[in-house]
Amino acid sequence: MRLVLPLVLVAAALVGLTAFATAPPGAVTAGVDAPSPQAPEPRAAGAVVETATVAAEPTPAVPPDCVPAPLEERAGQLLVVGLPRVVTGQEPLVAELTDLGVGGVLIQKANVQSADQVRALIGELRGRSRVPLLVAADEEGGRVSTFRSIVGRTPAPRTLAAEQTPEQIREQARVLGEQLGDLGVGMNLAPVVDLNDGAHDGIVGDRSYSADPATASRFASEFAHGLAEAGVLSTAKHFPGHGRTSVDSHIERPVVDVPLGELQAADLQPFADAISNGVPMILMAHVSYAALDPALPASLDPRAYQLLRDMGFQGVAIPDSLDMGAITTTYSKPEATVLAVTAGADAVLATGGTEARAMRDALVAAVADGRIPEARLNEAAARVLAMKGVDPAPMTCTAVTPTTLAARAHEAATPTR
């Protein structure tokens, strides 16, 4: 039987959210006070940043005398970290991370021995956490698969797009979502919406559904919808697009030198459609863009985050793992954590969790000395909590409602009485 995600669903935070399960890719979902939705007007390729946002949702009230949780607790919610060499809930790192109050953990291949073992590990992690824990995995299909030994081998996204219909992709994603949910996983770091038709084993390669924006968007959207129908959250990656470079950001920082208008006309289109469909999280690329700030990877670049928000995204923005060479060749992990949140990230991802305390303490110190405004940290923590289905107001004194895909996934994961 599938494990139900143990997320605290707050009625006030979900009022007015509309189900989108039948919405076509690119459609804008309507809020409770919105008129009946009309067929969307065709969107000019160069006007991606003008894309309409998901309709505003009623905002839960925050008590005027609200006192936020200690800064350390709020900062901890921004961390999503891996568990190196951990396979049981009795290992010291499990106690350290849950006592620290991290917002989420990333399950990786090294944490997987069997289905029962994964369930037990995740159960221990959740049971020890004071705040509902985000449990994520990287299950794109093809060569990127955390649970291949459990769910089986699946074709790469490029192969699926060539051989399957969008409806078949959606059904396969729903089945995958049920398998992930059965293990206790609540978020998948997929789909890839980068555009690429290069060598299948390139850094993006066959992880991309297509080099055509409309095709990539359609298949990625159906994949995300299928996951949501099974109660699993999705992540669109790698903003603003990793498909134009063959340089591996796991090793070094790629640089892309194309005009912003060219990105808007192609690379940003699938992200715009994902945003319109209410994707709850977008992962930022460790790629520098000459059209933004060529001296910084997008994951640490305020201009990249502003571009994402200008496109209407209201969910969680998270950089790719801070353990990748594009970051580690220049920055320490605590330093990169502060830079990412200052730039606009709401959460930070690190495949290794052994520096989690240093990362959290760096955030606390940055707020204390004014490098990060406390309101910025509260905003970030509130978005993470809301995505997990937790009312953020008691911890942050900030009201943020979940995005549509997140709410739909929580609805699917909630047992009926």
pLDDT tens string 148-202: 999 999 999 999 999 999 999 999 999 999 999 999 999 999 999 999 998 998 8
Cβ atoms of 258 and 290 closer than 8 Å: yes
Q: What one-letter code names the amino acid at 284? A: M
> pLDDT > 70: what percent of the chain?
84
What is the β-pairing status of strands 144-145 and 139-141?
A: antiparallel
How much is the pLDDT for 61? Answer: 67
CATH number of 69-413: 3.20.20.300
pLDDT digits (tens, 9 = 90+) for 86-117: 999 999 999 999 999 999 999 999 999 999 99
pLDDT interval class at 384 (50, 70, 90): very high
Eight-class DSSP state of 369: T
Question: Could you give the CA distance from residue 266 to residue 210 in angstroms, rounded to a whole number?
Answer: 12
Element (H, E) at 284: strand 281-284
Neighbours of 39 (CB within 10 A): 7
Global confidence as pTM: 0.86
Question: In the 8-state DSSP scheme, what is residue 254?
Answer: -
For the chain, domain boundaries: 69-413
Instruction: Clarify whether 323 is annotated catalytic.
Output: no
10-14, 42-46, 113-117, 135-139, range with the lowest pLDDT: 10-14
Structure tokens at 9: 């669903």
Give the model's pLDDT for residue 410: 81
Q: Which two tokens stand for residue 213?
A: 């924006």
- The structure tokens listed for 47 are 């006007």
Q: How confident is the model at residue 60 (pLDDT cuts 50, 70, 90)?
A: low
Answer yes or no: are the C-beta atoms of 346 and 317 closer than 8 Å. yes
Mean pLDDT of all residues in 76-87: 97
Based on the residue annotation, tell me whether 250 is a catalytic residue of this protein.
Answer: yes
Which of these is catalytic: 273, 301, 320, 323?
320
Catalytic hit among 212, 248, 250, 361: 250
CA distance linking residue 123 with residue 121, whole number of Å: 5
